[in-house]
Amino acid sequence: MLHHIAIVGSGPSGLFCADALLRQRPDLKIDVFDRLPTPYGLIRFGVAPDHQGTKAVTRQFDRLFGGGSLRFVGHVAVGTDLPLARLLETYDAVVLALGAHADRPLGVPGEELAGRYGSMAFVGWYNGHPDFRDLAPLLDRPAAAVIGQGNVAVDIARVLGKTAQEMAASDLTAHAMTAIGGAALSDIYMIGRRGPIEASFTSAELAELGRLENLRPVVAKADLPDNIPAGLDPAEARVKEKNLLLLHEFAARDDEKPVKLHFVFHRAPEAVLGSGRVEALKLKGSEAPLAAGTVVSAIGYRTETQGDLPRASERGVLANEEGRIAPGLYVVGWAKRGPSGTIPTNRAEAKAVADRILADFNGDETPAKAGSDAIDAMLKQQGLTAIDWSGWKRIEAAEAAAARQGSPREKLADWTGLRQAAAG
């Protein structure tokens, strides 16, 4: 019998899965665990601070938490604080919605130098992730390089290039706003190891770069083909065609702006150079190193796990068969398929995994396991203080109260502050 479900991770894939389960079985009791005191995972810490529209999906999730069947169990790290084995004993099904929190390594000499950051850390820093609050990235030279040409690289370039006024209505944290405002960057390089057609950014995100107050995209016309190659699938061809058109428009521009965003194609990183800190980036096929005081690699993520959680494969995902890891144990989202797609991609995928869970339990007559009550007793016994939905609501209220004019929130970005606000 299926009655109590634990979902580990309160990002979009976990919450879409909860939604799909409850739509079909409103009688289920679902506990959503998160290592952080705050829900929403990638929506809070990954989505760019100036893309508030993308974050609106949380309203749907809030309604779900208000419905009485879904509980938030924040500030509990499954695997270490609370072993997965305990969850498997206590819940009829456990869904791992862990996301992908580790930066793919760049794998070149010098990547350990101060001033080189992975996008998880860098984006986490400006988005107020408590693990990265104190990153204090070096932003003291006129040039910065972002490696990768996906939407994360575009986010980083845009956040670095926007003015304080353009960011006023965002929830960019005050510490990042001050650091970026004081950085005086004049050149940002966005570096792709392949060409303009292969770049994985999407058109809306690319177009946004052409509308910024202080930043001009710089593209060499010689790097651009006239047309997209034949034989692409139609959906992909539409994106590539639009991208190419935008890149041609950028190449035709010669307006003066204080910050230039240079699109560099066909250049893989060879080494990060500097003595004691990042000073330049050596690119394969280029004679002279590119002077830059900051290098951010935005080259994708891997799932990494601690304690008794299953380990990720070479590819950085948890081995699974259509979402099933073992009887009673499932996986959704980036931990299942890798770091691809947009937030809505998770809706359909999480629904498929929810269907799979319900099908697996169809006709199962085993008595339902103990669920929440047993877990609460276990947490108490271990001296763990979970942060529940009302604790999160207190954090949310404190953040709204601290927001600068026009911004929805000033995120609490340190562990102590979060715990104190949750406790009221």
User: Minimum Å distance from CB 12 to ligand NAP?
Assistant: 11
Cβ nearer to ligand NAP, comparing 52 with 200: 200
- The neighbouring-strand residues paired with 144 are 188, 294
Query: And the tokens for 146?
Result: 């972002």
The reply to whether 200 sits near ligand NAP by the rule CB under 6 A is yes
User: Least distance in Å: CB of 170 to ligand NAP?
Assistant: 14
The answer to whether residue 149 forms part of the interface with ligand NAP (CB under 6 A) is yes
Q: Which is nearer to ligand NAP, 29 or 336 (CB)?
A: 336
Minimum CB distance to ligand NAP, residue 89 (Å): 35
Q: Which of 60, 178, 342, 390 binds ligand NAP (CB under 6 A)?
A: 342
Q: Kindly tell me which residue out of 24, 60, 227, 340 binds ligand NAP, with binding defined by CB under 6 A.
A: 340
- Name the 3-class secondary structure at 202: coil
Query: Which tokens hold the place of 46?
Result: 């990954």
Query: What string marks each residue from 155 to 194 as x (binds ligand NAP by CB under 6 A) or -?
Result: x------------------------------------xxx
The answer to whether residues 96 and 332 touch, using CB atoms and an 8 Å cutoff, is: yes
**Cα gap 168→50, rounded to integer Å:** 9
Q: Which of 37, 110, 148, 391 binds ligand NAP (CB under 6 A)?
A: 148
Q: Which is nearer to ligand NAP, 152 or 395 (CB)?
A: 152
**DSSP letter assigned to residue 309:** S
Closer residue to ligand NAP in complex, CB, 198/213? 198
Angstrom distance (rounded) from CA 345 to CA 9: 17
Task: Specify whether the CB–CB gap between 292 and 142 falls below 8 A.
Answer: no
Q: Which stretch binds ligand NAP (CB under 6 A): 26-34, 198-206, 239-247, 416-424?
A: 198-206
Supply the minimum distance, in Å, between the C-beta of residue 298 and ligand NAP. Answer: 5
Do the beta carbons of residue 144 and residue 294 sit within 8 Å? yes
CB 110 within 8 A of CB 29: no
Q: Phi/psi class of residue 333: alpha, beta or left (left: φ > 0; alpha: ψ in -120 to 50)?
A: left
Least distance from ligand NAP to the Cβ atom of residue 380, Å: 38
One-letter amino acid of 71: R
Nearer to ligand NAP by Cβ, of 90 and 297: the residue is 297
Among 147, 212, 219, 375, binds ligand NAP (CB under 6 A): 147
Binding residue (CB under 6 A) for ligand NAP from 339, 371, 391, 417? 339
Q: How far is the CB of 147 from ligand NAP (least distance, A)?
A: 5
Task: Give the one residue of 15, 22, 88, 153 binding ligand NAP; rule: CB under 6 A.
Answer: 153
Distance between CA atoms of residues 49 and 403, nearest Å: 13
Q: How many Å apart are CA 198 and CA 177, to the nearest integer?
A: 32
Please report how close the Cβ of residue 118 comes to ligand NAP at its closest, in angstroms.
10
Strand partners, 29: 4
| Among positions 79, 150, 196, 217, the unique one binding ligand NAP when judged by CB under 6 A | 150
Per-residue contact flags (x/-) with ligand NAP for residues 246 to 275, judged by CB under 6 A = ----------------------xx------
SS3 263: strand
- The reply on whether position 348 binds ligand NAP by CB under 6 A is no
Q: Which two tokens stand for residue 227?
A: 């047309």
Q: Is 341 in the site for ligand NAP (CB under 6 A)?
A: yes
Residue placing its CB nearer to ligand NAP in the complex, 101 or 193: 193
Contact 318, 101 (CB under 8 A): no
Binding flag, residue 49, ligand NAP (CB under 6 A): no
Residues in the chain: 424
Nearest distance in Å: CB 100, ligand NAP: 9
Both tokens of residue 420?
């104190």
Give me the DSSP letters along 33-49: E-SSSSS-THHHHTS-T
* Separation of alpha carbons 101 and 36, rounded Å: 13
Which x/- pattern, by CB under 6 A, does the window 83-122 give for ligand NAP? Answer: ----------------------------------------
Which residue's Cβ lies closest to ligand NAP? 150
Residue 11 has, within 13 A of its CA and on its CB side, a CA count of: 26
- The amino acid sitting at 41 is G
Query: Nearer to ligand NAP by C-beta: 84 or 159?
Result: 159
Cα–Cα distance for residue pair 336/99, rounded to 1 Å: 8
Q: Give the chain's largest Cα–Cα span.
A: 71
Residues that bind ligand NAP (CB under 6 A): 147-153, 155, 192-194, 198-200, 205, 268-269, 298-300, 339-342
